[in-house]
Each structure stands twice: as C-alpha cells, then as structure tokens.
Structure 1
C-alpha cells in the first residue's frame, strides 16, 4: 500500500469505512446489550460487520505490505459476508426478525455495504 493512502480517493474510502465502523459498533452494542433476545442472529452479525469495518479502517489507513494484506482479507471477508447475509436474509427471513447492516445486501444503507468492499478491493488493486 502506498504512503499516500490517506489522500484523494483513499481518504474518502477510509472515511466511509470509519463512519461504518463507528455506526455499526454503536448499533451492535446497543442491540446486543438491550435487545439480543429479539434477533440474536442479526445482532451478532451486526457485531461481526462492525469488527470487520474497524479492521478495514485501520488497515486501510496504514501503509505497508502487512496492512495491505490485512485490508484485503478484511474486505474480502466483508464482501462474502454481505453476499451471504444478503442471500440468507431473503431466503430465510425468519433469521432476520430485525435487519443487520448486511441484510438484503445493505438495502437499509443504500446498498453501501455491498458497494464499499468492491470499491475497497478496486482501490487496493490500483495501489498495488
């Protein structure tokens, strides 16, 4: 990952990941502590997404080959998670009495959870 990873498009990407990390963490924390019994699968997946966004944010903000490797792993995991949860939320909706960040491919968040890892992977590829 280049040393100027916090400039231009990279800065916007990191900022969006940071917003999702903070908001998903806040949402998941509240849900897990106050409403866990209402939708345990969805709320647990919200926590997983929050952790993935946090790891992606930190690794994208850092430079070096290890940070790039961690970012790639986190973002691939995120993409697979969004696709898996999106598919499950449509095919087995009873698991998602309340939606998670990744439900219906992130529809509740204007599909940003589906698009974000795609842009993240493209950016990492461009940066080498």
Structure 2
C-alpha cells in the first residue's frame, strides 16, 4: 500500500462518505444549473444558494478524498461551511418561505433530501476528527505492540 493510500481519508467508511458527497455534488450542480438557466428571476437568492451548495459539495468531495494536511483543512472548512449553510438556510426558509418558492438542497434543513444535508456535514466532521493527519502519524509511529516490544 502506498503512503498516499495509507494516509487517505477516503478508505473504509470514508469511501462511503466521499461517495455520498460526490452524489450530492452532482445533484446540487445539476439542480442549480437548471434553476439558474431556466428561472433565475423567480428566486435569485434561493438559486444562488443552490449553486453555492454545489460548489461546497464539489470541494468537500475533493478534500475528503485526498490525503494531506491541505486537503484535510479544505474538507474541514467545507463541512463547517456546509453545516452553517444548512442551518442558516433551513431557518431562513422557515422564517421567509416566500424567498424560496422552489426547494433547494439546504432549504428546510434538507427536508427534500431526507435531511441528509443536515446530517452529512456532522458525519464529515466526525470522520475528519477521527482521521486527523496528526492522529494518523502518531498511530503509525507507535507501531504494533510486537514492533515496540
């Protein structure tokens, strides 16, 4: 196994997380593109936020899939931004529903997507915490009990 594969956060449960992020990246990109190209004037704020969600999902997917400290920081930033976005847009859609005449990925806390957009960044941040580059290094350097013994 190469050093990159060993340090990648995309293995094990991380592989499923990356796949879900990639799926949401494709879905949000497609949805926001159609919304912006066909009826942007109906709800510019909502559709712009859909596009922002798409960008966040794309960058988060890459950050989660790649090894390294920079990718780790990018993934943490994206998952954090996503969590804040889902909560803020969710609250906004409850308080000002007329601003969201059409569902977006984050509207109503991701209700149209089974609330996965609300849970996904929490799972992402938990996975990132578990697979922090420093934690991986200290585990590798400790070795097995037989190697230390």
Interval of TM-score (by shorter of Structure 1 and Structure 2): over 0.9
Aligned counterpart, 1:57: 61
- Give the one of 75, 94, 97 matched to 2:98: 94
Shift in Å, 1:85? 0.1
Q: Does 1:80 align with 2:77?
A: no
Shift in Å, 1:102? 0.2
* Runs of 5+ unmatched residues, structure 2: 133-149
Distance 1:62 1:25 in 2: 21
Q: Does 1:9 align with 2:19?
A: no
Aligned counterpart, 1:115: 119
Shift in Å, 1:112? 0.2
Aligned counterpart, 2:45: 41
Q: Which has the higher contact order (CA 8 A, sep 6+)?
A: 1
Distance 1:125 1:85 in 2: 25
Distance 1:127 1:5 in 2: 6
| TM-score (norm. length: structure 1) | 0.96
Asked which structure has the greater CA Rg, the reply is 2
* Runs of 5+ unmatched residues, structure 1: none
The CA RMSD over aligned residues, in Å, is: 1.2
| TM-score (norm. length: structure 2) | 0.83
Extract structure 1 runs of 4+ deviating beyond 3 A: none
